[in-house]
Amino acid sequence: MPHQVAWRILTDQKGRTLLAAGGIFVAVLLIFVELGFFVAVPEGGLLIYSHMRFDVLIVSDKYLFQSESGSFPQARLAAARAVPAIAAATPVYFGNAKWQDPSGGLKLDVTVIGIDPAAGVFDVPGIERQKAVLERPETVLVDSATRPLFGPLTAGRVVNIAGRRTTIGGTYQLGTGFLGLGVALASEADFFRLFPQRPQDTVNLGLVRLRPGAGPDAAARALRAALPADMRVFTRSQLFSHEVEYWTTRTATGLIFGSGLIVSFVVGIMVLYQTLATQITRQLPQFATLKAIGYSNRFLTAIVVSEALLLMIAAFVPALGAAFGVYAVVRSKTLLPLTLTATEFVVVFVLTMAMAAAASVLSLGALRRADPADVF
Amino acid sequence: MAFAISWTRLGGQSVPLAWRSLLANRRRLVRSSAGIGFAVLLMLVQLGFERGFFEASLATVSALRGDLFIMNASKYRFGSRDPFPPRDLAAARAVAGVAGVTPLYGAWQDFFWQPPGSDQPYLVQAFGFDPAQPPFLLPDVEGESARVAASDTVLVDRDARRFLGMEAAQGEAKINGRPVHIVGGFALGPDFLSDGTVMMSAATFAAMASGGRVPASELPVEFGVVTVRPGAKPAQVQQALMAALPQGLRVMTKPQLVEFERKFQSDLSSAGPIFWLGTLVGFVVGMLISYQIVYTDLSDQLPQYAMLKGMGYETGYLVRIVMTQAGLSAIAGWLPAWLVGLLVYWAIGRVALLPMQMTWQITLISLGLTLAMCLLSAALAIRRVVAADPAEIF
């Protein structure tokens, strides 16, 4: 019954209701966007990992995050392979080199990832398909998200990487994450050809795959027991929470988008409060009349809360639609992996409802002042 | 009520109708100021972040002291290692108008810092230079650089991210596994490439960079920092240097170097668009809030407006009242938001270590946007007044 009254009030002046819904729409959309960024920044840091095949990751105890991973000797991989639950342990190498066109020009920073092409490190179709290309000497595959500054990434183009003539064998689609402006993939042999000073004994990541049926937590425990104290062992989920924590607490991004989130939340409350308070003021005689003929304060409160909820839902649905659009635009412009997950949907919906609740509470003050004696 | 008072004095134009009407309902004024204020605050925060991002990334390059900078032509940004042989600088010293050339060594990917009492290495930005001629404008570096003349001593960035343990600017730490003694600090702050900065003598730098294998005199140089003789024109000296130096090197003035870095940041970083988008959202929200305020107000006052019309006042006069009121409520929302903004900037600056500053530009841009959003929404809502028909009211 109260929601019917609320519906009547809202549909009585459609223009005004539309306007209010518009304001809340923008606020909700902003929450979607800020939350998207808040989540996307660590996601960007996880991009490379989420396309790597491993159950457990072993790294140096100096590991900070993907780009500052520290290194460890090959022998640790052998020690890991000796653990019964382990099927394979594969090394991954990271190196920073300069990329320059043979004709001269800028010397750009490129991150080179060294892998064994046959080990199936990446579950990226473009890499899987071009395994044979990667095996060719002095040939690299280049991430297609490498910035235009690097020039055309056409197969067959020869560039100098770390001062050595290297052929682009092809491109693959993964994304550069936070590894820099450009990423190239090299076979192990080519990697050490590019970095001759670097000892082979400097593995950055050890990707561990388990035998069928082995549980990652038990395997991680067994690895921790088998490996010396200079190693760290992460299960996939431990690694992901470690990286997310790094990006949200150790960098400014968490705070920036977190504060944006809070401001949009407050703006949303203000818009809704503004609307509700105006409505109540305008309908004050009617509310007072209802009171005079015996309706309780609770009934009137229920009307206002229903109004708030109806407006919120009217704003939330189009904001959700618009968020999909904005995410797509941001994805294409900034290479940040903005995606609308179920979690985000639920979080924003809950925040929206909280906004409705807060605005209702604020505007109830005006309602309580509705005194039948004043009106007549 | 305000109208009742003003009508008695409606002799001339001098009655501040807009002002009266704004103050007529204090409760509504507070509500509308709060609504507009929050939208303004949203814009201020976004504008502040946008500027803070750029300022942070330009902090190091802006702090350089020198008239001209010699660097590799293949260098694409300030913070990218691309050094040249030190002997190339010899030619520069002989160029007319050059008072002095001092090498600046830099590293962004190769110096790992272990904080006092910790063995976790963190990547930091590092500079090496002649302690007698520090090429930085930072007052503490100028004052304390003589102390790093002793080998294995460093100055650290007190404003670096906290986990680097540089805040106290004292104690024993390690760089690339070698022990160093912290002899002082300066205030620079992190950017998006480095969490902190260390500065040292060229000799210490060379020892850390090469593990003691290469002496400073043979270590490749990142920048040649040129001081121009008093009276000489930097632009002319720049031309002469470019002619005298080997091919593959280029020379920039300080403003050119700052612009070079700014351009790199704005072309390749997505920070700019993200915060402009946020500002735009604040503007749209503000417009919606302000439209609602003006619209409600106009609906409430419609009989009075119609009355004024009936008495013979021109539509133009009424439009002026509405617009003035919109302008006033813009300022009533903007002013408190600006004050709160100062506080928010201070808090964010401290927590995020971002250089958040309320500049004249941000103040003016936000005021301009606030006025624009309020006037624009008033212009949209004003049709009601224009259409107000005295005959309908009575």
Q: Does the beta carbon of B352 lie under 8 angstroms from any beta carbon of chain A? A: yes
Residues B252/B260, Cβ–Cβ less than 8 Å: yes
pLDDT at residue A178, as a whole number: 82
CB-based contact A334 B35, cutoff 8 Å: no
In this prediction the pTM is 0.80
Q: Judged by CB atoms within 8 Å, which residues 4-43 of B form the interface with A?
A: 31-32, 34-35, 38-39, 41-42
Neighbouring CB atoms inside 10 A of B367's CB total 16
Alpha-carbon distance B143 to nearest alpha carbon in chain A (angstroms): 30
Inter-chain residue contact B288 with A271, CB threshold 8 Å: yes
**Which of A42-46, A269-273, A329-333 is the least confident region?**
A329-333
Please check whether residue A229 touches B, CB under 8 A: no
Shortest Cα distance from B40 to chain A (angstroms)?
10
Question: Is the pLDDT score of B9 beyond 50?
Answer: no
pLDDT by residue (tens digit) across A124-172?
A: 999 999 999 999 999 999 999 898 999 999 999 999 999 999 999 999 9
Question: Do residue A19 and residue B292 have CB atoms under 8 angstroms apart?
Answer: yes
Beta bridge partners of B178: B175
CA-based torsion, A166, A170, A172, A175: positive or negative: positive
CA distance B369 to A219: 59
Residue pair B194/B124 in contact (Cβ under 8 Å)? The answer is: yes
Give the CA diameter of chain A.
93
Which range among A340-354, B26-40, B244-258, B320-334 has the greatest average pLDDT? B244-258
Report the gap between the CA of A130 and the closest CA in chain B (Å): 29
Which residues from B are below 8 Å from A250, CB to CB?
161, 163, 195
Interface of A with B in 195-224 (CB under 8 A): none
Beta carbons of B122 and A26 less than 8 Å apart: no
- Give yes or no for B355 touching A (CB within 8 A): no
Q: What pLDDT is recorded for position B12?
A: 43
pLDDT value at residue B303:
81
What's the mean per-residue pLDDT of chain A?
Answer: 88
- pLDDT value at position B235? 92
Residues of B in contact with A109 (CB under 8 A): 80
**Which residues fall within 8 angstroms of residue B357, CB to CB, at 6 or more apart?**
B48, B51, B52, B55, B345, B349
Tokens of B15: 């009655």
Residues whose CB is less than 8 angstroms from the CB of residue A177 and which lie 6 or more positions away in sequence, other chains included: A44, A45, A46, A47, A48, A66, A183
CA distance B285 to chain A (A): 6
Q: Please state, in angstroms and rounded to a whole number, the distance separating the CA atoms of residues A217 and A198.
A: 33
Token pair of A300, please? 């009137």
Are B284 and B260 in contact, with CB atoms under 8 Å apart? no
Confidence of residue A192 (pLDDT cuts 50, 70, 90): very high
B323 CB burial (10 A radius; 0-12, 13-18, 19+): middle
How large is the average pLDDT for residues A88-117?
95
Question: Are residues A271 and B289, on separate chains, in Cβ contact within 8 Å?
Answer: yes
Give B 85-104 residues with CB within 8 A of chain A.
none
Instruction: Kindly state whether A298 is in contact with chain B, defined as any CB-CB distance less than 8 angstroms.
Output: no
Q: Taking 50 as the threshold, does the pLDDT of residue B6 lie above it?
A: no
What is the C-alpha to C-alpha distance for residues A25 and B201, in angstroms, rounded to an integer? 57
Contacts of B75 in chain A (CB under 8 A): 106-107
Other CB atoms within 10 A of residue B104 CB: 24
* Closest CB from A20, A30, A333 relative to B273: A333
* Residue pLDDT, tens place only, A206-218: 999 999 989 999 9
Q: Is residue A194 scored above 50 in pLDDT?
A: yes
| Nearest-neighbour CA in chain A from B99: distance (Å) | 30
Which residue, among A16, A24, A26, would best test binding to B if mutated, counting the most B CBs under 10 Å from its CB?
A: A26
Going by C-alpha positions, the residue among A46, A40, A53 that lies closest to residue A239 is: A46
Mutate to test the interface with A, among B33, B174, B274, B354 (most CBs of A within 10 A): B274
**Whether B245 contacts B3, CB under 8 Å:** no
**Tell me, what's the pLDDT at B392?**
62
* Nearest CB neighbour to B120, from listed A62, A98, A105: A62
CB neighbour list of residue A279: distance below 8 Å, 6 or more residues apart: A9, A307
Distance spanning both ends of chain B, measured CA to CA: 19
Q: Indicate the SS3 state at residue A326.
A: helix
**Mutate which: B281, B291, B300, vs A, most A CBs within 10 A:** B281
The model's pLDDT over B161-214, given as tens digits with 9 standing for 90+, comes to 989 999 998 999 999 999 999 999 999 988 878 899 999 999 999 999 988 888
CA A33 – CA A324 distance, rounded (Å): 10
The number of helix segments (H) and strand segments (E) in chain A equals 13, 9
The alpha carbon of A2 is separated from its chain's Cα centroid by a whole number of angstroms, namely 41
Answer whether B323's CB lies under 8 Å from B316's CB.
Answer: no
Q: How far is A108 from chain B (nearest CA, A)?
A: 7
What is the average per-residue pLDDT within B12-25?
70
Of the two residues A339 and B83, the one the predictor is more confident about is B83
Structure tokens at B229: 């003789």
Size of interface A-B (CB pairs under 8 A): 116
Q: pLDDT-derived band of residue A334, with 50, 70 and 90 as boundaries?
A: low
CB-based contact (8 Å) between A147 and chain B? yes
Instruction: List chain A residues with CB under 8 Å of B123.
Output: 68
> B200 to chain A, minimum CA–CA distance in Å?
23
Task: Say yes or no for a CB contact (<8 Å) between A260 and B35.
Answer: no
Q: Do A274 and B289 touch (CB under 8 A)?
A: yes
Is residue B215 classed as helix, strand or coil in its secondary structure? Answer: coil
Q: What is the reported pLDDT for A207? A: 96
Instruction: Give yes or no for residue B373 having a pLDDT over 80.
Output: yes
Helix axes B254-268, B26-62, angle to 10 degrees: 120
pLDDT at B4: 42
- Residue B26 scores a pLDDT above 60: yes
Rounded to whole angstroms, the Cα distance separating B305 from B384 reads: 10
**pLDDT on residue A37:** 81
Mean pLDDT, range A333-351, rounded to an integer: 81
pLDDT greater at residue B280 or residue A333: B280
Residue with the bigger pLDDT between A291 and B113: it is: B113
Is the CB of B249 inside 8 Å of chain A's CB atoms?
no
